[in-house]
Amino acid sequence: MRKSLVYLIPFLWLLALFFVPFLIVFKISLSDIALARPPYMPQLDLSEGLAGIRAFLSELDFENFVFLTTDSLYWKAYLSSLRIALIATFLTLLVGYPIAYGMARAPHHWRPTLLMLVILPFWTSFLIRVYAWMGILGQEGYLNQVLLWTGLISEPLSILNTNTAVYIGVVYTYLPFMILPIYAALERLDISLIEAAEDLGCSRTSAFWLVTFPLSRPGVTAGCFLVFIPTIGEFVIPSLLGGSKTLMIGKVLWEEFFSNRDWPVASAVAVVLLLILIVPIIFFQKNQQRQAEADA
Amino acid sequence: MRRLSAFNVVSLTLGFAFLYVPMLILVIYSFNESKLVTVWAGFSTKWYGELAGNQQFLDAAWVTLRVAFFSSTIATVLGTMAAYALIRSGRFWGRTAFSGMIYAPLVMPEVITGLSLLLLFIAIGLDRGILTLVLAHTTFCMCYVSVVVSSRLITFDQSLEEAARDLGCTAAESFRLVTLPIIAPAVVSGWLLAFTLSLDDLVIASFTSGPSSTTLPIKIFSSVRLGVSPEINALSTIMIGIVAIGVIIASLMTKRSMARRLADEAAADRAELT
């Protein structure tokens, strides 16, 4: 009896506060906007019994989803989120791999410190880490000051409020998620394999591409998913660093809800976003499972 | 491992500079005299004074701390129970759905979690305030706690629990006397993680808080939207400082407990030899 309580309590909690809310989102995505409180209709009226339920169900339709396909704002936002996430993931890999590689080759007694230095930013506020870049990238920001002072540029660069700033923000905030799995893969790498490749006549570069990189692939895959998946629905980075031209679906959903107060459309946007995310999440799960089986 | 090449040294140096210089600039410019954040006009702590006199920020900080304390504490209890059920109970009805619900919130975009919780609260007629914030934060934090605790439970030698049961402990006693002390470090770090996640959350809090329960991130976000401000720099410096101090204390403590464990093991070895 007591044993079942141990899982029943968290199970029921998640059922009520994670699963049921999704059903509500789905239901509201089939409703219509209304000038009422709450601002959507139909409302379920149980006092009329079965007839009430039937009337309620007949009012639900997929109109909002049709609307998402007809208004180009939405599909452009989905595509643009995917593109930004893809480019940002690639850039994070480009920045993160050499760091992870350097960490894996550092002397043993340095590694715990280096590892802590990578994890530490994760404990500091995400919002503050994004905010820090607003002062750096602005028109009169520190970066422009330095570049103007050194004479590398004569006109200040406009980086803040562009997609470039969003890329920098994503790379900066998600870098630990990329470094850690790659480091874990590289650290387990058997050094004698590389020595063997070099003995057999490989140059250092070709030994890297033929031996080291393929063996670190699981870490690279895991890191890429860990950056890619949350970036698609990102809200804080595009709204602080991005400009009016930066289209990301998280921002669209937010504005649809808070500015337009169109809850049914916001819910439909959420349902479609969830459907898009399921594909990479399943791939990620498969990758993790394969990894766990390979370790066992 | 072979020696670090020049390439390794350069990439490590640049990498860690990239991670830390932005925060360092923030800290330095929080002591700037000028209202213009990007122009250095001499050392001053006046922005900290202004911050201490800003009642709105203080109120928001108090709300945030209370929410973080309650939600991380409830999340730790629920998350530990969930981890225990997942790792120890073997197969039970609804296990797949259960583990799915534990891992899904970790990858769910915050805008969706926030929206869905808000729609739930409105559907059941719950007014938005501290309570809805705690419910929302507990839900996503418990999943993180459960991941941290279950990674410890997997490596834990189950025969210790069985031995306690054989010696006459009830299930509850064996959990309290054997399991809990061993998984305690994971439970504590789960609580700390939940606490910082709750402190940090902007998106879910924006959906689930009411006008009387504005949290610090919401306050920071609305003032940061208008641009960089020296007061926010000062506030950021305080928050970065708290984290840095916490991490230093934690690493000193683990170092000391490692040293004690090593000493204990050495003593045990000596005792075995004699």
Distances (CA, A) of B217 to A114, B29, B203, B234: 29, 20, 9, 14
Contact, A91 vs A228, CB < 8 A?
A: no
CB contact under 8 A, B224 and A250: no
Q: Which of 131-190 (A) contact B at CB < 8 A?
A: 131-136, 138, 140-142, 145, 172, 175
Residue A188 is classified by DSSP as: T
Task: Compute how many other C-beta atoms are within 10 angstroms of the C-beta atom of residue B217.
Answer: 24
* Domains of chain B with CATH codes: 56-232 (1.10.3720.10)
Angstrom distance (rounded) from CA A107 to CA A71: 56
Angstrom distance (rounded) from CA A36 to CA A240: 32
The pair phi, psi for residue B228, each rounded to 5°, is -75, 140
**A61: helix, strand or coil:** coil
Q: Which of A77, A31, A69, A50 is nearest to A245 (CA)?
A: A77
Interface check A228 vs B, CB under 8 A: no
- B217 Cβ neighbours under 8 A, 6+ residues apart: A125, A127, B64, B199, B200, B201, B202, B205
Angstrom distance (rounded) from CA B29 to CA A135: 10
User: Which residue in chain A is spatially nearest to B122 when comparing CA positions?
Assistant: A38
Q: What is the tens place of the pLDDT at every residue in B68-123?
A: 999 999 999 999 999 988 887 767 777 788 888 888 888 888 999 999 999 999 88
Task: Compute how many other C-beta atoms are within 10 angstroms of the C-beta atom of residue B146.
Answer: 30
Q: What is the CATH number of domain A70-295?
A: 1.10.3720.10
Output the tens digit of pLDDT for each of chain A's 296 residues.
456 778 889 999 999 999 999 999 998 888 887 766 677 777 766 666 777 777 777 778 788 888 888 888 898 999 999 999 999 999 999 999 999 999 998 888 888 889 988 988 888 889 999 999 998 998 888 888 888 888 888 888 888 889 999 999 999 999 999 999 999 999 888 888 888 888 888 888 888 888 889 989 989 999 999 999 999 999 999 999 998 888 999 999 999 888 888 888 999 999 999 999 988 888 888 887 887 777 76
CB contact under 8 A, B203 and A236: yes
Residue B165 is classified by DSSP as: H
Interface check A84 vs B, CB under 8 A: no
Task: Compute how many other C-beta atoms are within 10 angstroms of the C-beta atom of residue B228.
Answer: 22
Angstrom distance (rounded) from CA B167 to CA B270: 29
pLDDT-derived band at B1 (thresholds 50, 70, 90) equals very low
CB contact under 8 A, A254 and B85: no
Interface check B79 vs A, CB under 8 A: yes
CB contact under 8 A, A117 and B19: yes
Q: Which helix (H) or strand (E) holds B239?
A: helix B230-273
User: Which residue in chain A is spatially nearest to B198 when comparing CA positions?
Assistant: A125
Contact, A147 vs A177, CB < 8 A?
A: no
Q: What is the tens place of the pLDDT at every residue in B131-173?
A: 999 999 999 999 999 999 988 888 887 888 888 888 888 888 8
| All structural domains of chain A with their residue ranges | 70-295
Contact, A240 vs A128, CB < 8 A?
A: no
Residue A89 pLDDT: 97
Angstrom distance (rounded) from CA B136 to CA B120: 11
- Three-class secondary structure assignment of B79-144: HHHHHHHHHHCCCCCCHHHHHHHHHHHHHCCHHHHHHHHHHHHHHCCCCCCHHHHHHHHHHHHHHH
